[in-house]
């Protein structure tokens, strides 16, 4: 490579290095390890919770990056014909960082583009500093413009401020502002009252706005309680009475075992008993996750007493875990669903009242990693943790019993406890479509919901497909449960039967849609309630 | 590398392999931390290496010889090697 004759080859050498680096990086990002890298970038805690060790994957990325940088150093040595200790200084390292930020982090060709921009800028800005253009300007402006590094540094600061994580980062950072739609109709209630109501079936705890108007019944999801709805009760429009109920085994209601063979029947009957005791008549139902399974049941049993339904991240009408697109169980014994599907460490820590974030399966960590798409999105963390800790733990409650199965993943539903009640073995709410209920349905779901979605992080088919559960028999035998597709199928059958259905997607949102975007949620609910009359 | 009698192509390969090895060692330490702390630790390693180079222009072996004769001459190098 030495000698003037070979100089022209240096350009091609540098270009070849660029191409080789790009191709290698692309192959790496596209590999299995690359998928884990992306997952770590989005939410490292969630990766850890899933049982992968981020450390090893980060080390691979670190070593690969350094080796490529080493190769780059060899090319650089030839290009500049020699070296000096200055290239090992922090200045040079930071220059490389500036290039990456200029090209916007988060995409492969960004670094190449940034390098090009930086190279051009440093050449042009140096030329500018000596040009005659500056003579025409006032002294202070000329002195600023004649400092190329000052200009580059300012550009760097501006980019860091407005595009901290590249393209995606900027979109996410701006999202909360875009969604802050002014809503003059929303008034805050002074307070919600907490009552224990003696019904014919259960001592039921409720939060009640005690306002005049049509009753809106809020039903919480699994491992949660009425407190999750407190904010929405306060945001509820005037002219309605908001009541958030604690289901049996949750919150401050009396814990009473379920008859799992009735699916969500016991919960729905408890709700009916509450409606009768309070003499509410027809109610608007707002239900989250498991609560939606209760709402479907209630609507099937009392079709004319439902004024409207708002289903938030609703459990699939065919139950949670181990079903195919048409709702049929993967195996006869519904293996992969029921009480054995819960993380035993999480169960133990809820029972122990663990408020720490010591373990990937601590309730607090689960809130951060599973209930919200990223740690930055988490709202009301303490409130959600407290709700979760009020979950009754045991064989008759959460998670319930399990029995061994010869089918993958080796366990099938038992006959006690909530996860068995919502397993496909006992839960089939597809009859909602032809129940005779005609209440308008609003379906709200978060784009990155890790609980209820076609890619649920708590469902064995999807976990198997991700390679996290050994010996997964493949998508032909045990596909990931397409929960959203199943809900859509039942709701479109409902629409065909004469009901109205609207679906609303919350971008970059997790399982707790109404906690992550309370005002947008309240606005949509307000419109839906109004339209239902 | 010249001293070791390597021509350019093998020298590059050896250099890349050494870089990867050093990266694995430093990464094993630095990756125990996250976020800002991670950035600080890697920068600290970079600075240490930079100072090491600045204080010793003729390779670490020569440096060690110098160190033995006069410890004041290159304190950083003596601390590292």
Digit-coded pLDDT (tens) for B40-51: 898 898 888 888
Judged against a pLDDT cut of 80, whether residue B71 lies above it is answered with no
Name which of A200, A220, A249, A472 is nearest A350 in CA terms: A249
Q: Which of A44, A67, A93 sits opposite B23 (nearest CB)?
A: A67
Is omega for the bond preceding A409 within 30 degrees of 0, making it cis? yes
Distance CA B78, CA B55 (A): 10
pLDDT value at A131 more than 90: no
Per-residue pLDDT, A86: 75
Contacts of A70 in chain B (CB under 8 A): 15-16, 18-20
Which has more confidence, B70 or A7? A7
Minimal-distance CA residue of chain A relative to B45: A90
Instruction: Please answer yes or no on whether A90 and B54 come within 8 Å at the CB atom.
Output: no
Average the pLDDT over each of A41-45, A341-345, A361-365 and give the range with the smallest value. A41-45
Q: How confident is the model at residue B59 (pLDDT cuts 50, 70, 90)?
A: low
Confidence of residue B68 (pLDDT cuts 50, 70, 90): very low
Q: Does A344 touch chain B (CB under 8 A)?
A: no
Residue range A11-35: average pLDDT? 90
pLDDT tens-digit map of A426-477: 999 999 999 999 999 999 999 999 999 998 989 999 988 888 888 899 989 9
**Measuring CA to CA, how many Å separate A430 from each of A73, A296, A299, A300, A493?**
63, 9, 12, 10, 9
How far apart, in whole angstroms, are the C-alpha atoms of residue A359 and residue A218? 32
Handedness of CA A315, A318, A323, A325 (dihedral sign): negative
pLDDT in tens, A203-214: 999 999 988 899
- Tokens representing A148 are 């190329």
Instruction: Write the pLDDT tens digit of every residue in A91-111.
Output: 788 888 888 888 877 778 888
Q: Which two tokens stand for residue A101?
A: 């930020």
For chain B, percent of residues with pLDDT exceeding 90: 25
pLDDT at position B66 over 50: no
Q: What pLDDT does residue A166 have? A: 42
- Taking CA–CA distances from A87, the nearest residue in chain B reads B50
Candidates A59, A63, A88; nearest CB to B53: A88
In angstroms, the Cα distances linking A64 to A61, B20, B29, B37 are 5, 7, 16, 21
Nearest to A93 among B17, B46, B57 (CB): B46
**pLDDT attached to residue A513:** 96
Confidence of residue A3 (pLDDT cuts 50, 70, 90): low
Measured between CB atoms, does B27 come within 8 Å of chain A? yes
Q: Is B23 on the interface with A (CB under 8 A)?
A: yes
d(CA A41, CA A106): 9
For residue B30, what is the nearest residue in chain A, using CA coordinates?
A: A59
Res B3: pLDDT: 59
A292 neighbors A226 (Cβ within 8 angstroms) = no
- Which pLDDT does position A29 carry in this prediction? 87
Q: Residue B56 — pLDDT band, cuts 50, 70, 90?
A: low
Q: Any long-range contacts for A139-145 (C-beta under 8 Å, 24+ apart)?
A: none
Tell me: pLDDT of B80 over 90.
Answer: no
CB of B8 within 8 Å of any CB in chain A?
A: yes
| Structure confidence at residue B5 (pLDDT) | 66
Per the CB < 8 A criterion, the answer to whether A270 and A204 are in contact is: yes
Place of tokens 């709402």: A295
Beta-carbon separation of A59 and B8 below 8 A: no
Query: Which residues 6+ apart lie within 8 Å of B28 measured at CB?
Result: A59
Tell me if residue A307 falls in helix, strand or coil. Answer: strand
Q: Which residues contact A303 (CB under 8 A, 6 or more apart)?
A: A435, A436, A437, A438
In whole angstroms, what is the distance from residue A263 CA to residue A261 CA? 6
> Angle B3-B21-B49 (CA atoms, 0-180°, nearest 5)?
70
* Residue A223: both structure tokens together: 């491992």
DSSP A246: P
Q: Chain B partners of A63 at a C-beta cutoff of 8 Å?
A: 20, 23-24, 27
Q: Which residues of A touch B23 (CB under 8 A)?
A: 62-63, 65-67
Instruction: Name the average pLDDT for chain A.
Output: 87
Contact B16 A71 (CB under 8 A): yes
A74 touches chain B (CB under 8 A): yes
Q: Do A89 and B23 touch (CB under 8 A)?
A: no
> Is the CB of residue A451 less than 8 Å from the CB of residue A370?
yes
Give percent helix, percent strand, percent coil of chain A, each to the nearest 5: 50, 10, 35
Candidates B17, B24, B43; nearest CB to A90: B43
Rounded alpha-carbon distances, angstroms, from residue B46 to A86, A324, B33, B49: 12, 54, 16, 5
Q: Which two tokens stand for residue A477?
A: 């035998």
Query: Average of pLDDT values for A503-507?
Result: 94
CB–CB contact B23 A63 (8 Å): yes
- What's the rounded Cα separation, in Å, for the pair A392 and A91? 58
Q: What is the pLDDT of residue A185?
A: 38
Query: How many Cα atoms are found within 13 Å in the side-chain-facing hemisphere of A40?
Result: 22
Residue of B20, B21, B77 to mutate, interface with A, max A Cβ within 10 Å = B20
Q: Do residues A339 and A420 touch, judged by C-beta distance below 8 A?
A: yes
Q: Is the pLDDT of residue A189 over 80?
A: no
What residues 53-72 of chain A have any CB closer than 8 A to a CB of chain B? 55, 58-59, 62-63, 65-67, 69-71
Neighbours of A82 (CB within 10 A): 6
Distance CA A232, CA A176 (A): 18
- Scan for tokens 């091609």, then name that residue: A12
Smallest CA-to-CA distance from A517 within A509, A505, A527, A525 is with A509
What confidence tier does B20 reach under pLDDT thresholds 50, 70, 90? very high
Span of A45-49, A83-87, A438-442 with lowest mean pLDDT: A83-87
| pLDDT value for B76 | 39
pLDDT, average across residues A174-181:
36
> Would you say residue A179 has pLDDT above 50?
no
With H, G, I as helix, E, B as strand and everything else as coil, classify residue A505: strand
Task: From chain A, pick out residues whose CB is under 8 angstroms from the CB of B28.
Answer: 59
pLDDT of residue A77: 86
Host H or E run for residue A523: helix A518-532
Q: Do A71 and B12 touch (CB under 8 A)?
A: yes
Burial of residue A146 (number of CB atoms within 10 Å: 0-12, 13-18, 19+):
middle
What percent of chain A clears pLDDT 70, i.e. is strictly above it? 92
Whether B49 and A88 lie within 8 Å, measured CB to CB: yes
Q: A473 in contact with B at a CB cutoff of 8 Å?
A: no
């Amino acid at each position: 490579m030495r000698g003037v004759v070979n100089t022209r080859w240096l350009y091609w050498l540098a270009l070849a290095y660029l191409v080789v680096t790009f191709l290698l990086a692309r192959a790496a990002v596209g590999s299995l390890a690359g998928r884990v890298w992306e997952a770590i970038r989005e939410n490292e805690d969630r990766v850890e919770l899933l049982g992968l060790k981020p450390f090893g994957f980060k080390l691979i990325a670190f070593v690969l990056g350094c080796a490529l940088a080493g190769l780059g150093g060899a090319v650089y040595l030839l290009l500049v014909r020699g070296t000096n200790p200055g290239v090992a200084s922090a200045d040079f390292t930071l220059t490389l960082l500036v290039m990456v930020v200029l090209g916007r982090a988060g995409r492969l060709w960004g670094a190449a583009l940034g390098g090009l921009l930086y190279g051009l800028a440093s050449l042009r800005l140096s030329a500018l500093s000596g040009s005659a253009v500056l003579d025409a300007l006032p002294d202070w402006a000329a002195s600023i413009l004649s400092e190329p590094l000052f200009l580059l540094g300012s550009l760097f600061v501006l980019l860091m401020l407005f595009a901290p994580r590249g393209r995606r980062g900027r979109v996410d950072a701006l999202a909360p502002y875009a969604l802050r739609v002014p809503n003059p109709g929303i008034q805050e209630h002074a307070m919600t009252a907490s009552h224990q109501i003696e019904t014919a079936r259960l001592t039921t705890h409720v939060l009640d706005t005690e306002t005049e108007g049509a009753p809106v019944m809020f039903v919480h999801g699994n491992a949660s309680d009425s407190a999750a709805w407190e904010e929405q009760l306060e945001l509820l429009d005037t002219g309605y009475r908001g009541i958030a109920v604690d289901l049996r085994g949750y919150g401050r209601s009396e814990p009473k075992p379920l008859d799992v063979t009735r699916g969500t029947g016991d919960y729905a009957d408890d709700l009916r008993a509450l409606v009768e005791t309070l003499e509410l008549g027809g109610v608007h139902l707002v239900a989250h996750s498991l609560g939606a399974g209760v709402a479907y049941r209630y609507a099937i049993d009392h079709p004319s007493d439902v004024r409207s339904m708002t289903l938030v991240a609703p459990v699939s009408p065919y139950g949670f875990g181990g079903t195919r697109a048409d709702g049929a169980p993967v195996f006869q014994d519904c293996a992969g669903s029921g009480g054995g599907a819960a993380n035993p460490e999480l169960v133990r820590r809820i029972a122990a009242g663990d408020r720490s974030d010591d373990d990937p399966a601590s309730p607090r960590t689960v809130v951060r990693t599973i209930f919200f798409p990223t740690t930055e999105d988490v709202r009301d963390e303490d409130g959600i943790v407290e709700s979760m800790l009020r979950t009754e733990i045991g064989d008759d409650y959460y998670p319930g019993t399990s029995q061994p199965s010869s089918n993958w993943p080796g366990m099938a539903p038992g006959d006690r406890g909530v996860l068995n009640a919502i397993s496909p073995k006992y839960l089939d709410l597809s009859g909602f479509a032809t129940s005779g209920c005609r209440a308008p349905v609003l379906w709200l779901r978060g784009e990155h919901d890790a609980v209820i979605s076609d890619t649920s992080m708590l469902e064995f088919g999807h976990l198997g497909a991700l390679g996290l559960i050994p010996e997964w028999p493949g998508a032909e035998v045990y596909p990931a449960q397409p929960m959203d597709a199943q809900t859509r199928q039942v709701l479109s059958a409902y629409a065909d039967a004469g009901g109205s259905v609207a679906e609303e997607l919350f971008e970059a949102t997790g399982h707790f849609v109404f906690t992550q975007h309370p005002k947008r949620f309240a606005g949509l609910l307000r419109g839906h309630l109004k339209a239902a009359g | 590398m010249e001293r070791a009698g390597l021509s350019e192509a093998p020298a590059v390969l050896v250099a890349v392999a050494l870089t990867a090895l050093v990266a694995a060692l430093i990464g094993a330490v630095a990756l125990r931390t996250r976020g800002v702390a991670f950035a600080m630790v890697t920068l600290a390693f970079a600075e240490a290496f930079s100072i090491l180079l600045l204080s010793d222009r003729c390779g670490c072996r020569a440096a060690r010889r110098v160190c033995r004769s006069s410890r004041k001459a290159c304190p950083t190098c003596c601390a590292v090697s």
